[in-house]
Amino acid sequence: MDAVLHQVLAGLATGGIYASLALALVMIYQATHLVNFAQGEMAMFATYFAWSLINAGMPYWPAFLLTVVFAFFLGVVIERVIIRPVENSPVLAVVVVFIALLVILNSVTGWIFSYTIKTFPSPFPAEPIFGSYITSHQGGAIGVTLVVLLLLYLFFRFTPLGLAMRAAAQNPESARLVGIRVGWMLALGWGLAAAVGGVAGMMVAPIVFLDPNMMGGVLLYAFAAALVGGIDNPAGAVFGGFLVGVLENLLGAFVIGNELKLAVALVLIIGVLVVKPSGFFGKVLVTRV
């Protein structure tokens, strides 16, 4: 029983990270109906930025905050400079741009920082909490995730800018008619998504270690999470993230072994797409004719 509880708690910790990244995917999906394959590499790049700051002697939390700001601007710039010109192109063209972005960010990072694996510090103390069920970093990661989710919720639900961003995503034409600068709302959305991804990157790096390919697996779990929850539902994506994290850990520990863990994500993705493409909480699109 102890072992199960331990695996569930550890699952919640990584699940929170999947949830953050899944939320980033959903934020961009809602506005553009496209899945940003480069979301993970953007997060990875931001994490390297944090590593450079910390390596240069900056204390953890200022480096953390600065990285969030950096990731935000990285997202905005990528949207303005790279995504904007292909906005009205066919879906496949945009997907190719996303994949190019993934490869470019990955290679550029490898070129700047080399592919050797680096350790990334955790801001939380080394001794375990809750009677050794969970490391402090895992507990802290859950806490950070929850704070980020709460802040996002409050922003979208209660601020005029959050409302304008939801309106722009939902009905761009009407949004323009009430004076919302839809293009900038999209860029802001990319910025926020990248910032959330950056936090996820910094939380996962102490666990998986820092290297240019570290987000590959994480992004796959995040896809699974977003699909399980319903790709157009932010709350669903968060739920999916925690669910995938726990499921991955329990199955890995007791059923299929650690080697096949990543297969859990793929099975979930295929299973959801086959059985219930709208996910647990997604809207089924019905068009009246």
CB of 178 to other proteins, least distance (A): 5
Q: What whole-number distance in Å separates Cα of residue 236 and Cα of residue 164?
A: 22
**What is the smallest separation between the CB atom of 232 and other proteins, expressed in angstroms?**
9
Cβ proximity to other proteins: between 171 and 213 the closer is 171
CA Rg, the chain, in Å? 19
Least distance CB 177 / other proteins (angstroms): 5
Establish if 27 lies at the interface with other proteins (CB under 8 A).
Answer: no
> Three-class SS of residue 211?
coil
In whole angstroms, the minimum distance from the beta carbon of 100 to other proteins comes to: 30
Q: Are 21 and 222 in contact (CB under 8 A)?
A: yes
* Cβ–Cβ under 8 Å, residues 263 and 256: yes
- Residues 134-163: x/- map of binding to other proteins (CB under 8 A)? --------------------------x--x
Confirm if 189 and 28 have CB atoms less than 8 A apart.
Answer: yes
- For the chain, the distance separating the N- and C-terminal CA atoms, rounded to the nearest angstrom, is 55
Q: Which stretch binds other proteins (CB under 8 A): 71-79, 117-125, 164-172, 263-271?
A: 164-172
* Nearest Cα residue to 78 out of 102, 61, 57: 102
| Binding to other proteins in span 166-185, by CB under 8 A | 166-167, 170-171, 173-182
Query: What whole-number distance in Å separates Cα of residue 222 and Cα of residue 67?
Result: 21
Total Cβ atoms within 10 A of residue 25: 27
Q: Which CB atom, from 161 or from 273, has the smaller least distance to other proteins?
A: 161
Q: Give how many residues touch other proteins by CB under 8 A.
A: 17
Angle CA 188–13–37, to nearest 5? 40
State in angstroms the smallest separation of the CB of 176 from other proteins: 4
Which residue number, 63 or 175, has a Cβ lying nearer to other proteins?
A: 175
Q: Where do contacts with other proteins occur on this chain (CB under 8 A)? A: 160, 163-164, 166-167, 170-171, 173-182
